[in-house]
Structure 1
Amino acid sequence: MATLILVRHGRSTANTSAVLAGRTPGVGLDERGVAQAAALPGRLAGVPLAAVVSSPLQRCRETLGPLLEARPDLPLHIEERINECDYGDWSGRKLAELADAPLMEVVQTHPSAVAFPGGESMRGMQQRAVEAVRDWNARIDAEHGEDAVYAMCSHGDIIKSIVADALGMHLDLFQRIHVDPCSVTAIRYGRLRPFLLRLGDTGDLTGVAPRAGRDTEAAEVGGGAGAP
């Protein structure tokens, strides 16, 4: 079956403002995110992509812009099922003010029980994203053959939930996974099992060192801003 290249969007203005953007319109890439997107065609230069699939949100489409410009024959498909998690009433709020919300502890330790007020459940988020991947795997296989590779640009929690599914992990463990902005994660889907080939690859180890003032026990909801 197909090999999937998952790209998290480049660093956004919401990431640098420590805001949980969710599906808030008008959130684009910041200066660093633009540079990350510009480097993406070079990073994927040796990968024979059959297609590109994107979340409908602006920050994902901006991330893919340079890649599509470099490969004008590459088809782009918009997929609603890999849209950002609908955080409901949490959308657009500062992460610092959400940190003490009782629900945040559940988000960190028991996400399969979480339903965001006015939004969706994390179980529903994972289900729709995994269904999208399975459907696209079948479509790419049928149109391009089982050795084909395609890219999908989405969001931190979406990518983490897809990786958890590929690894056979319960959703309650997915907060142990981290993917930086514009990182590349690769999963090869075989007939019997998926294989995780790359996870959150940026080629930059700066973000490995703990940052002063950061809670190293807490997952960054929405994915975080990456290395400074």
Structure 2
Amino acid sequence: MRRRLLLLRHGEVDYFPGGRPVPPEEVGLTPRGRAQAEAVGELLQGVPLDRTVHSGLRRTQETAEIILKGRPVPLEAWPEFQEIRPGRLRDLEDPKGAFLQAFSPNDPSDRFLGGERYRDFLDRVLAAYARLLAQPWDTLLLVAHGGVIRALLSYALTGQRGFLPLEVHPCGLSVLDLDGEKALLRLHNLTPHDPLPKDRRTTMEALWEAYERE
């Protein structure tokens, strides 16, 4: 019998409220982000969940708590699933290029926005994924981040470390059915609050525009 892993990106956040950057570990959901999480909670109301894991960052914990409101589902923080960490953006030689090519690194030793190396990010995320698969559960919800979900889907579907050209919207839900380490992608990037998103920008394009305005 296949197990089912539900992968969910956190709800919408604003990294530059009022034009001032907020440290990534402190940013929380916007009102729209909370509404997005509520819509996912309604969708999953009848889905039996054994466990829910989040990254320990405020935005994933808030999303998970909204979805599980009133449900006796164990909630766990796994910091290994935190998003890839940027560096000091003002130190970037080509900030626009760094944003727009963020998930197409030339080499695993390159750094994401001048911060964490892609190699190190994949090491910690995929090690946590292996540890998760080694534990007993039938249906598990993992609330994480766009880069984390892209890395997990890329590895589960191809067996290779890297980043497929997949977009993951705020509160976008993907479903992997797992038979051992073999994965079947049942669903990708379903957004119950907005089934056909109008925005055709990538996440990093939208972040660049927000950073440029700041």
Instruction: Report the TM-score range of the alignment, normalised by the length of the smaller protein.
Output: 0.7 to 0.9
**Structure 1 residue 109, shift from structure 2 partner:** 5.3
Contact map agreement 1:64 1:153 (CA 8 A) in 2: yes
Q: Report the RMSD for the aligned CA atoms in angstroms.
A: 3.2
Where 1:194 maps in the other structure, the secondary structure is strand
Cα contact 1:180–1:223 (8 A) shared by 2: no
User: How far off its partner does 1:15 sit?
Assistant: 7.8
> How big is each residue's C-alpha offset from its partner over 1:139-193, in whole Å with a ceiling of 9 and x where there is no partner?
1x2xx4xxx100111000110010000111645552x111100011111221251
Structure 2: 5+ residue stretches without partners:
209-214
Instruction: Give the corresponding residue for 2:212.
Output: none
1:163 aligns with 153
User: What one-letter code is carried by the residue in structure 2 that aligns with 1:40?
Assistant: V
Give 3-state SS (helix, strand or coil) of 1:81's partner.
helix
For normalisation by structure 2, the TM-score amounts to 0.80
Q: Which residue of 1 aligns with 2:62?
A: 62
Residue 95 (structure 2) pairs with residue 98 (structure 1):
yes
- Provide the secondary structure at the position in 2 that maps to 1:207: coil
> Where do residues 99-178 of structure 1 align in structure 2 (5 Å cutoff)?
99-101=96-98, 105=101, 107-108=103-104, 110=106, 112-116=108-112, 119-139=115-135, 141=136, 144=137, 148-168=138-158, 170-171=160-161, 173-174=163-164, 176-178=165-167
Instruction: Output aligned runs, 1:204-215, within 5 Å.
Output: 204-207=194-197, 210=200, 214=201
State yes or no: 1:37 paired with 2:27.
no
Deviates more, 1:74-83 or 1:114-123: 114-123
AA of the residue aligned to 1:221: M
What amino acid is the match of 2:134?
A: A
CA contact (8 A) 2:169 2:203 kept: no
Q: Give 5+ residue unaligned stretches, structure 1.
A: none
- For these two proteins, the number of residue pairs brought into alignment is 204
Query: Once superposed, which parts of structure 1, at least 4 consecutive aligned residues long, lie more than 6 Å away?
Result: 15-21
- TM-score by length of structure 1 reads 0.76
